[in-house]
Structure 1
Amino acid sequence: MTSLIFVSTNDLSKTSGSGVATREIVRAIGSVTTADLCVICPDPAETLSTDLRAVVDRFRFLPAETNPGHPLWHAKIETALGWHLLAAIRVERPAAVVTRLAQSTLFPAPICRALSIPYLLMVRGVVNRDDEYDRTKLSAIVEQVVRLNVSLADEVTVAFEAVREAIGDYRRLDQSHIEIVPNAVDPERFTPVNREEARVACEADLPPDTFVLGFVGTLAERQMLPALFRALSDVPDVHLLVVGSGPVGDRLRTLTADLTIESQVTFVGQVPYNAVPTYIGACDAAYGVVNPKRPSNPIKVYEYLACERPVLTSRSPEMTFVEHKNAGVVIEEVTPAAVADAVRELRDSTPNRRREMGVRGREYVLANHTWATVARRVLPDTLQRPRAHVEEAEE
């Protein structure tokens, strides 16, 4: 039986951030591949989901994720990864190794090159940034790790254009081009929910007849949330539902008090992952912009649209479809004034127009941004099931 190895240093039991995306990628690969799937990843903090275990034939667990930002943890995990990968290769004799790049992904590329195993590299974010938000004393080392992986990989896929620009010089002219494979969503999990029913179901005590703008995600600098909060002070008849937690949460609560908009904002903290569609459904529209200093391809935008909610986003190569498909409002710069104007536009749209935006958004996402689409674009055709077989398996 042909086998495939997937390598990641993300905890696949996490319900936020890169853990969610990596788990969905693995689940999608397991669903579309004809090969036995062996996954090498950290020992999960929680029980892995049943649907993930159903598509993975074998796991090899690395030491549990403890302090992923510390160099000693990276050294420990990479040492274990090298040994586990060699052992898995001896047993599995894989047709390919797929790796999600991390800051210290050191061994998979040279091991695969030495053993003539196709190495498929997934770069989902800018791993090494030199900006005010994310500095590291080991940035030069990280840069060389990225260069090693990109230069040795047989195929490289990235989530957005800024990543391709950052690493493009690491490929030789005779190597395959870096392909952009944007982020995605599970359309079976993120489905439309009736707004009134969602407002009753979620624990947010939202005003029943008020326009509600939502945000779901980590409360971090890259989300550019202060601009949204300041915009609210100019749009007093809008309510903001904030779902999630993170490092700037306390600052946002302080800002809410300073702007005297406490009555317009509801913080609910982090909710179970399977409850997120209900909270999105309680909103009339949702916020998910791209920070120009930290380019990204926010998964939340695809989740909002899968739930048939129009989005307020900012201009980037990957978000141009929102404007083209009329699935929301795209702003040129993320400033309080620009956000306020966009919020007014969405608020003043009729419920039917917003509903049509959401429907168009979901249709586009289903056609272009499912995790199964990502998996098919990453794997070679020889390791994929025919589409009809996949659809039957999903049913």
Structure 2
Amino acid sequence: MKILMLLYKRFPPDIRVEKEGRVLQREGHEIFVIAKGGEKTMREYRGLKIIDVNPSVTDDIWFRVNFFRPFLFRRVREAIREHNIEIMHVHDLPLVKTGLKAAREFSIPIIADLHENYPAATVCFGNDSLLYRLNNLVLTFNRYRKYEMEMARNVDKIIVVVEEALTRFKNIINEDKISIISNTVDLSELNKFEIDSGVLERYKDYFNFTYIGGFGSERGLDTTIRALKNTNSRNIRLLLVGKKHNLAHKIEKLAVKLGVREQVEFTGEVPFNKVPSYIMASDVCLVPYNKSEHTQTTIPHKLFQYMAFKKPVLVSDVKPLKRIVDEIGCGLVFRSNNPIDMSTKMNKMVTMDSLEEMGLRGYEAVMNRYNWSKESGKLIELYRAIQQGLKS
């Protein structure tokens, strides 16, 4: 079948879209991806046919009025006609209405692939800029939640990334309509990364706690800095790997204020192929998220990356993180937004003899269960069911 994926961001990179595209290709499907880019050009990336669409300011305005992008809609219609698209697969909530209108016009099924809990994300994502605050006055939590429920009722299938995400659809959407497909590690890609010996050498004399990702306020990095202040060893290093912006600068100022700046390293943004080197340089990897509706209903890909490289983890007690780590025994859990409890767990891990054993448990769980070979089977089953429905 010919599948059109709708992704209103530049592509690549997007780990999940790539993984889904590759597995569907292997099933014999032809994948087209509409993404932000140049002026209506077509290119190929690892067998995926990318249709670049230039962003429209008019679309941005209309989206804030009614969650619809008329300029993008025209491009979607053109792609459906030109390439005889048979299924629409929309990545994330913002573009579902645009995709749904096109899908219904051409009588093709539509899948809403909800990587994030977008209504909840409006509360905790973003920054302190005036533009962001003005945007949140228009795109409020209540508006987004109402929109999400309307779209969930009208699309044919829904994909979420973790079982806890089902709670917001309970008693509203039939669970048979929803598939849980987690953003786990693609084992076939792991061996393609070369470990940078220079990174390992740079940090070999320290006990390294490492966080990889964004610096949003919901990520719990302020808690981490405060916990670092209460650790027992000056040999501890906190590696923060990710692109710095104004929220990262706030974290840095907090580290200076608390007198731990020399123990914290901000690497800045690193190429994706360098990320495994920083994981391998780590003694313990962190997912210190604060509790919110968003973090309680999603799961970060980084958790499975850490486990795949045999690293023990220290995570906060948000539901999906606690469930997985407790189930496997691959690390410790601290009370979110509680620097005293986090520092206690950090001090404990510095002296533990069982860190290697924890890392191996995580690795075995990834090899046997939390990997894309297992999860992708659910995606294949979903598409086969849709295909069968089209034939009947």
TM value normalised by structure 2: 0.81
- SS of structure 2 residue aligned to 1:9: strand
Give CA-to-partner distance per residue, 1:93-149, whole Å, 9 cap, x none: 334221112325322123323433121111111112387535442335534432332
In the TM superposition, residue 263 of structure 1 has moved relative to its aligned partner by: 2.5
Map of 1:252-291 to 2, 5 A cutoff? 252-291=251-290
RMSD in angstroms over aligned alpha carbons?
A: 3.4
How far apart are the structure 2 equivalents of 1:308 and 1:61?
Answer: 38
- The residue aligned with 1:82 is 73
In the TM superposition, residue 169 of structure 1 has moved relative to its aligned partner by: 5.1
Q: Match of 1:55, as an amino acid?
A: G
Quickly say closer, same or farther: Cα 1:131–1:66, change in 2 above 3 A.
closer
Higher RCO, 1 vs 2 (CA within 8 Å, ≥6 residues apart):
1
- SS of structure 2 residue aligned to 1:276: helix
- The residue aligned with 2:34 is 40
Map of 1:84-233 to 2, 5 A cutoff? 84-129=75-120, 133=124, 135-139=136-140, 141-168=143-170, 170-171=172-173, 173=174, 176-190=176-190, 200-202=197-199, 205-206=202-203, 208-233=204-229
CA contact (8 A) 1:315 1:330 kept: yes
Quickly say closer, same or farther: Cα 1:226–1:382, change in 2 above 3 A.
closer
| Identity rate, percent | 18
Q: Match of 2:117, as an amino acid?
A: V
How far apart are the structure 2 equivalents of 1:119 and 1:371?
Answer: 23
Mean Cα deviation higher: 303-312 or 73-82: 73-82
Map of 1:311-350 to 2, 5 A cutoff? 311-319=313-321, 320-350=323-353
In the TM superposition, residue 214 of structure 1 has moved relative to its aligned partner by: 0.5
Quickly say closer, same or farther: Cα 1:130–1:8, change in 2 above 3 A.
closer
Give CA-to-partner distance per residue, 1:347-394, whole Å, 9 cap, x none: 1122xx32222222122123333345444323446659xxxxxxxxxx
| Structure 1 residue runs without a partner (length 5+) | 15-19, 385-395
How far apart are the structure 2 equivalents of 1:310 and 1:325?
Answer: 11
Mean Cα deviation higher: 110-119 or 276-285: 110-119
How far apart are the structure 2 equivalents of 1:377 and 1:255?
Answer: 44
- SS of structure 1 residue aligned to 2:11: coil
- The residue aligned with 2:240 is 242
How far apart are the structure 2 equivalents of 1:201 and 1:188?
Answer: 25
More helix by share: 2
Mean Cα deviation higher: 276-285 or 93-102: 93-102
- The residue aligned with 2:371 is 370
- SS of structure 2 residue aligned to 1:362: helix
In the TM superposition, residue 284 of structure 1 has moved relative to its aligned partner by: 0.6
- SS of structure 2 residue aligned to 1:38: strand
Aligned pair partner of 1:308 in 293, 307, 310: 310
- The residue aligned with 1:17 is none
CA contact (8 A) 2:88 2:108 kept: yes
Quickly say closer, same or farther: Cα 1:125–1:137, change in 2 above 3 A.
same
Quickly say closer, same or farther: Cα 1:108–1:287, change in 2 above 3 A.
same
Q: Match of 2:257, as an amino acid?
A: D
In the TM superposition, residue 64 of structure 1 has moved relative to its aligned partner by: 4.3
TM value normalised by structure 1: 0.80
CA contact (8 A) 2:304 2:366 kept: yes
